Amino acid sequence: MVPHLTTSLTGPLLALEKQIIDARPAIERWFRLKWTEHTVPFYSSVDLRNAGYKLAPVDTNLFPGGFNNLNPDFMGLCVQATMSAVQKICPDTQRFLLVPENHTRNLFYLQNVATLKRILEGAGLTVRLGSLIPDLTGPTEVETAGGEKLLLEPVQRKGNRVGLDGFDPCAVLLNNDLSAGIPGILRGIQQSVVPPLYAGWTTRRKSLHFHAYDRAAEEFAKLIGIDPWLINPVFSQCGKVNFAVQEGEECLAANVDAVLTEVREKYKQYGIDDTPFVMVKADAGTYGMGVMSVKSPDEVRGLNRKERNKMAVIKEGLPVTEVIIQEGVRTVETVNNSTAEPVVYMMDSYVVGGFYRINTERGVDENLNSRGMSFSPLAFATDCHSPDCGSNPDAPPNRFYTYGVVARLAMLAASLELEKLAEDFDEMAEPEAVTA
Amino acid sequence: MVPHLTTSLTGPLLALEKQIIDARPAIERWFRLKWTEHTVPFYSSVDLRNAGYKLAPVDTNLFPGGFNNLNPDFMGLCVQATMSAVQKICPDTQRFLLVPENHTRNLFYLQNVATLKRILEGAGLTVRLGSLIPDLTGPTEVETAGGEKLLLEPVQRKGNRVGLDGFDPCAVLLNNDLSAGIPGILRGIQQSVVPPLYAGWTTRRKSLHFHAYDRAAEEFAKLIGIDPWLINPVFSQCGKVNFAVQEGEECLAANVDAVLTEVREKYKQYGIDDTPFVMVKADAGTYGMGVMSVKSPDEVRGLNRKERNKMAVIKEGLPVTEVIIQEGVRTVETVNNSTAEPVVYMMDSYVVGGFYRINTERGVDENLNSRGMSFSPLAFATDCHSPDCGSNPDAPPNRFYTYGVVARLAMLAASLELEKLAEDFDEMAEPEAVTA
């Protein structure tokens, strides 16, 4: 099920994979000890790019929206991991209010919500869907792409608790990334909110995440004796950009140049005969919006109106003012001749599945999270979990183990990032006037 | 995969299952809270008997020996649960010394060891096998029923640590029930030993387990509003029995009578038209040895030589002096027309699989753990984990969930039992003179 690596540069990645597989006991111990010190996110998903010579995370989502794309044969792992997460976060809980995104027209997203609801129910929780859609006046039935029916009910605030008609939940599980801001109705409530409100894109920044990832990758690379660059994309950031009025172009160009220069040197060091490129992304962006791929600083100077419009606003129509300039990592993976990138799903500290995001219309150096994409579930190896089973490093179980390690490293970075955000959030957490 | 219930008395069990399924959120919450107060065993397996009107545990094993019988499709659950167990017990550990039973002629048991080793390796541990076989002079290769090769190495003691040549483990995992006594070589060592030494049959007593189960079942039955008898076999015990010289027969007969009387009343109350029977078992027995099925007190008086010999000694040739007299629970389950009983496997707090113990030669009121038995893996429901999926209570996912609940209740009892044993063990834990 895991497509073979199609690259002429098999050497370095196989070497990296072999190093990771050989160090497995040390790696697992390292993660175990990390999770005694840091709080593991309830769930997360990580987009990886596999360049053959390098395997790196390019985005970490704390409100994963593709549970419907996971292999249904391994739902048991999701259920078990959910039990573990609930045991840690709120053992006393038996009723969960699941708060999904507002875009009910995306029937595949609704299928994700239905799958997630089933997983939570499998772990023995009673689950109802609380919607934040402003004009939802009463319970509304929607149908998923799979034909399942879901009941969306407007979230109600009563004092310092939220709930639904006849439903007082013990905890709130967000599957809504809060791009539109932290809703007043959820501020200062008595119930546990997981992930915490400050994990939403109102407060998260990709740059903060990748700063945390730098730390995690550095320590991990030292542990197994590799160059951290092999698992970490170079990045930089610009804090005052306004694409609409062409402000901050020079900062952007300078940073693009700096990242490209650093990557060029690494390519030279490893004898990689490719043209470096960078991805310019909205620092608070998600859903693949506000992303452009550039190969030279000149490309970010004098953008035409169409290009500027594309970058100027992201989800919920928010203007972009901060950007991250990240080393582009080519994907050398293909599924049915289309460009593909792995997405790894985690619940609690466990890798529970994954899938390939496949884009028939995009190239190896482009953002695949855009129009024209489809999904293919990533297989778990059920017959061989151990590195000593005599397979090559690129055999599916080993390949998937390696993906899982790098994805968990990004999850650890998210945990460090949330600790930092929690500090800042305490100060700004003054409950706003609530109009429920 | 889960055979249908073949009973004329479908009413009560279906009712019990429905009550359990309906109370699922409350049950899961109850277990979660219990595991915040008590230590979950590393692993365990529970033999259940399903009488149609009653579903009860009859034996709880803290050194499960049938991992080879589990459905290989769900090994991922075992690996994930192992990760959780190791995280709790010894996160710092990366090398495990697995200590198996000494009977290397049982090739199926060796297959269990190989499977268990693979599970631990899947969780990222380095595992080697340390044998307690007294005359094992050096590393010895053995072959499992599946043709896998295992290397048994003699356990060595150095000061207050045990290990193998060139292998200093961080923890010792026992898959040896210590029926022959607590080996001096393992006493007072610095490394973690899981399960603890006092979990072996040197110190365990079935009667202590079922006293703990009484407490757990009582509280659970109250939680979901059922008669605890529906999940709990009546039992009694005799402390001074010597089958060889016919000592203690009257105590035995009196207790058999008392248990039968209590069961007869329950049968009357529920309108069950069956003849009650009891199982007389060695209180410290295992491996299905030292077990007899009787229907009247007269049957334990004047046992003939053959019967007495059968009861007089158990595993490792130990004499039987204490017995438990337990309500016999008929099994109404059949697989391919043979009598069957479910065995549920748990690692950490999770149900990770199970199988049917099938005995072509035994009746519905006999011990199936004996000559002539075979195994059939129990299926997990992968497509439906939730009770609201519209199936009948006896649909496989629901049936298996119910098994898992009763098995976890027995595991909780084992945890309470181990707490009690730990208190007593502290006193007798004076390290003996060690001759390694």
Sign of CA dihedral B323, B325, B326, B330: positive
- Residue B168 near chain A (CB below 8 Å): no
Q: What is the ipTM of this complex?
A: 0.86
- Top pLDDT among B364 and B185 is at B185
Which CATH number applies to B78-202? 3.40.50.11280
For residue A4, the model assigns a pLDDT of 44
- Residue B275 near chain A (CB below 8 Å): no
For residue B335, the model assigns a pLDDT of 77
Q: Cβ distance B57 to B46 under 8 Å?
A: yes
* Closest by Cα among A188, A166, A197, A190 to A93: A190
Local confidence band at A366 (pLDDT 50, 70, 90 cut-offs): confident
- Top pLDDT among B77 and B8 is at B77
Least confidently predicted of A47-51, A166-170, A224-228, A385-389: A385-389
Count CB-CB contacts under 10 A for residue B240. Answer: 10
- Considering only CB atoms, A76 lies closest to which of B74, B84, B349, namely B74
Kindly state the tokens that stand for A422: 């929690």
Local confidence band at B23 (pLDDT 50, 70, 90 cut-offs): very high
B234-328: CATH class: alpha beta
CA distance B171 to A311: 55
Residue B379 has pLDDT above 70, yes or no: no
* Closest by Cα among A113, A134, A126 to A176: A113
Cis preceding linkage at A169, omega within 30: no
* Closest by Cα among A336, A363, A370, A369 to A275: A363
Residue B54 has pLDDT above 70, yes or no: yes
Greatest CA separation found in chain A? 65
Count CB-CB contacts under 10 A for residue A134. Answer: 9
Average pLDDT over residues B304-313: 77
Domain regions of chain B by residue span:
1-62+206-232+330-436, 78-202, 234-328
Q: In this prediction, what percent of chain A has a pLDDT beyond 90?
A: 57
3-state secondary structure B325-366: EEECCCCCCEECCEEEEEEEEEECCEEEEEEEEEECCCCCCC
Residue B425 has pLDDT above 70, yes or no: yes
Q: Cβ distance B232 to B432 under 8 Å?
A: no
Task: Kindly tell me the burial class for residue A6, based on how many C-beta atoms sit within 10 Å of its own C-beta (0-12, 13-18, 19 or more).
Answer: exposed
- Top pLDDT among B419 and B361 is at B419
| Cross-chain residue pair A92–B33, CB shorter than 8 Å | yes
The 3-state DSSP composition of chain A as helix, strand, coil percent (nearest 5) reads: 40, 25, 40
- Considering only CB atoms, B385 lies closest to which of A75, A383, A386, namely A75
pLDDT tens per residue, range A326-343: 999 998 887 777 888 889
Mutate one of B31, B87, B347, B384 to test the A interface: name it (highest A CB count within 10 A).
B87
Question: Kindly report the CA angle at B30 between B24 and B33, in degrees rounded to 5?
Answer: 140
3-state secondary structure B86-108: HHHHCCCCCEEEEEECCCCCCHH
Average pLDDT over residues A193-212: 93
For residue B47, the model assigns a pLDDT of 94
pLDDT tens per residue, range A271-310: 999 999 999 988 887 666 678 889 999 988 877 777 777 7
CA distance B130 to B132: 7
Greatest CA separation found in chain B? 65
- Cα of A154 to nearest chain B Cα, Å: 23
Please report the number of interchain residue pairs, chain A to chain B, with beta-carbon separation below 8 angstroms. 121
Average pLDDT over residues B341-356: 92
- Cα of A118 to nearest chain B Cα, Å: 7
Residue B164 has pLDDT above 70, yes or no: yes
Sign of CA dihedral A201, A202, A205, A209: negative
Chain A CB contacts of B93 below 8 Å: 29
Residue A435 has pLDDT above 60, yes or no: no
- Residue B28 near chain A (CB below 8 Å): yes
- Considering only CB atoms, B350 lies closest to which of A80, A121, A388, namely A80
Least confidently predicted of A195-199, A237-241, A306-310, B165-169: A306-310
CA distance A342 to A348: 19
- Residue A25 near chain B (CB below 8 Å): yes
| Range 328-367 of B in CB contact (< 8 A) with A | 349-350
* Closest by Cα among B292, B320, B295 to B205: B320
Least confidently predicted of A193-197, A219-223, A330-334, B432-436: B432-436
pLDDT tens per residue, range A379-406: 664 433 444 445 566 555 667 888 999 9
Q: Cβ distance A142 to A112 under 8 Å?
A: no
Residues 6+ apart with CB under 8 A from B37: none
CA distance A4 to A335: 9
- Residue A37 near chain B (CB below 8 Å): no
- Residue B167 near chain A (CB below 8 Å): no
Residue A5 has pLDDT above 60, yes or no: no
- Residue B307 near chain A (CB below 8 Å): no
For residue A6, the model assigns a pLDDT of 41
- Considering only CB atoms, B382 lies closest to which of A72, A93, A380, namely A72
Chain B CB contacts of A28 below 8 Å: 83, 94, 123-125
For residue B316, the model assigns a pLDDT of 67
Residue B215 has pLDDT above 80, yes or no: yes
Mutate one of B386, B389, B400, B405 to test the A interface: name it (highest A CB count within 10 A).
B386
- Residue A81 near chain B (CB below 8 Å): yes
- State how far the alpha carbon of B325 is from the alpha carbons of A201, B85, B296, in Å: 63, 34, 12
Contacts 24+ apart (CB under 8 A), B353-361: B353/B70, B353/B71, B353/B74, B353/B77, B353/B78, B353/B377, B353/B378, B353/B380, B354/B70, B354/B378, B354/B400, B354/B403, B354/B407, B355/B66, B355/B69, B355/B70, B355/B71, B356/B3, B357/B47
User: Roughly what angle, to the nearest 10 degrees, separates helices A10-22 and A396-428?
Assistant: 70
A235-327: CATH class: alpha beta
What is the value of pTM for the model shown?
A: 0.89
For tokens 């359990």, what's the residue?
A: B20
For residue A391, the model assigns a pLDDT of 55
Residues 6+ apart with CB under 8 A from A142: A104, A110, A149, A150, A152
Average pLDDT, chain B: 86
Chain A CB contacts of B383 below 8 Å: 72, 75
- Considering only CB atoms, A382 lies closest to which of B32, B76, B380, namely B76
Average pLDDT, chain A: 86
- Residue B293 near chain A (CB below 8 Å): no
Per this entry, what is the length of chain A?
A: 436
Average pLDDT over residues B246-269: 93
Fold classification of A73-202 (topology level): Rossmann fold (3.40.50)
Task: Give alpha helix (H) positions in A304-381.
Answer: 305-312
The secondary structure element, H or E, covering residue A34 is helix A24-37
| Cross-chain residue pair B29–A94, CB shorter than 8 Å | yes
Count CB-CB contacts under 10 A for residue A41. Answer: 25
Chain A CB contacts of B72 below 8 Å: 382-383
Chain B CB contacts of A408 below 8 Å: none
- Residue B73 near chain A (CB below 8 Å): yes
| Cross-chain residue pair B387–A121, CB shorter than 8 Å | yes
CA distance B37 to A230: 44
Tell me whether strands B350-359 and B338-347 are parallel, antiparallel or unpaired.
Answer: antiparallel
Count CB-CB contacts under 10 A for residue A330. Answer: 22
pLDDT tens per residue, range A126-136: 999 999 999 99
- Residue A96 near chain B (CB below 8 Å): no
Q: Cβ distance B369 to B287 under 8 Å?
A: yes
Kindly state the tokens that stand for A309: 């419009």
